[in-house]
Structure 1
């Protein structure tokens, strides 16, 4: 049974429907997936001949350690091809919200070192988040309403209260784990966050966490769980940066009061 309700966004949404997407949205999403998949396949065709049976999206530290062991020598011989392949896979995962990008960030540190690794992760993460932003702008609205209605209402209210200092607030969200990055990517166009603010907050705000993760990738063999990535000092540092980024918003509100 379907029922239309008025949302806090002044729109009507279907509640209780089995599938929230319309036919044209399904076709558009499928076309985008197909284009990305063909792009990945073309990148694969440009890679030098080798045994690629070891290649898989890492979903655990064990997968990542095996992948690193195979790729170290390969990266030295075919650096450009590995960079292109890495960027394509990371952007694909980020665009379609596929879990495992934290393992890709660790891999960047293991293969390229801290400075190159951070630059690579920030670039690919920003590109992937931007791609997800525009994909959500096209077909994501019904899915976001269906999956995260309460979280979306909260995000909308916070964005509305901070329109004049929105960059600071978005930086705060990116630096701290207040809201998941995946949710921020898909919800930002729905709550009318301008793309230039989304881009700047993503590009700048991801640097601290990228540094922590990439640096941990240098000692990949010593990691026993993802919990080892963020010790108390790392988490405290990220929250401190987040508080600093949101301080101008709070000061501005106090002055207005």
Structure 2
């Protein structure tokens, strides 16, 4: 009971903090627009810009993502610290409490901060948020996770023990070719006695290809204004290079895993060994 109360307090405090932070939107810079009819330049009222671009919320599709990226880039020009704090807080909130939707935030990072700063930010936030989820599970959720997912926890414990001599590379394999969702691995890692140092480093390195693809996609989409731009040779070659860079680490780890890891083909396919032939 004490663990439930503690977890509720943590979630409530984090939600209140994020809500208060998102409701405080500083006055944005004045933007100068041209009037093609009169040939005059007019300045937009910064007080009206939030309503014109839309309210702050987590994007759920590509159009909302583009609008959100445009709004945040607009404010980032003079309120970089606030935008960085808001984005980081929202990302950590999702990761810490295992809420789906990090892919949209990774794409948004590329659209707002660019391909290089966005990638670094996404990798750091993914790692820190997953580690916070690890610590929350260790402090409040061990008994509940075991009671809710007894078979999955038991299977993961067995695989961790079988691959104890190459545990770090096994964790990298799980991130690149997940036998179990990342959110479950984050919560169950302290239960199966995965050291936090191994966990931290495996998240940073193992999710790097995924973060790279999402951030680069966001950087590309932020520069695209039509489908013709998207399907130009330059963009297609850029997307092909992104895909190759993302697949290379996975191919290396997969080749290593065939020699070293004890995965079990039946369990890897989600079936018990005695049912595979049925």
If the length of structure 2 is used for normalisation, what is the TM-score? 0.72
In the TM superposition, 1:5-44 aligns within 5 A as 23-41=1-19, 43-44=21-22
Instruction: Report the CA distance between 1:55 and its aligned residue.
Output: 0.5
Aligned mates of 1:119, 1:248 — CA distance in 2: 32
Note closer, same or farther for the CA distance 1:150–1:61 as it changes in structure 2 (3 Å cut): farther
Larger radius of gyration: 2
Aligned mates of 2:57, 2:8 — CA distance in 1: 22
**161-170 or 232-241: bigger deviation:** 232-241
User: Could you tell me which residue of structure 2 aligns to residue 205 of structure 1?
Assistant: 206
Aligned mates of 1:167, 1:32 — CA distance in 2: 30
Aligned mates of 2:155, 2:6 — CA distance in 1: 29
In the TM superposition, 1:161-240 aligns within 5 A as 161-220=162-221, 236-237=247-248, 239-240=250-251
Contact 1:169 1:245 in 2 (8 A): no
Instruction: Report the CA distance between 1:248 and its aligned residue.
Output: 7.6
Instruction: Report the CA distance between 1:208 and its aligned residue.
Output: 1.4
Instruction: Report the CA distance between 1:141 and its aligned residue.
Output: 1.9
Q: Which runs of 5+ in 1 are unaligned?
A: 1-22, 224-228, 252-257
Instruction: Report the CA distance between 1:245 and its aligned residue.
Output: 5.9
Number of equivalenced pairs: 224
User: Could you tell me which residue of structure 2 aligns to residue 114 of structure 1?
Assistant: 115
Aligned mates of 1:241, 1:38 — CA distance in 2: 44
Note closer, same or farther for the CA distance 1:77–1:245 as it changes in structure 2 (3 Å cut): farther
Q: Deviations over 1:17-65 (max 9, x none)?
A: xxxxxx2122111111122124324544764246375211123333312
**71-80 or 238-247: bigger deviation:** 238-247
User: Could you tell me which residue of structure 2 aligns to residue 144 of structure 1?
Assistant: 145
Q: Which runs of 5+ in 2 are unaligned?
A: 28-46, 231-238, 263-278
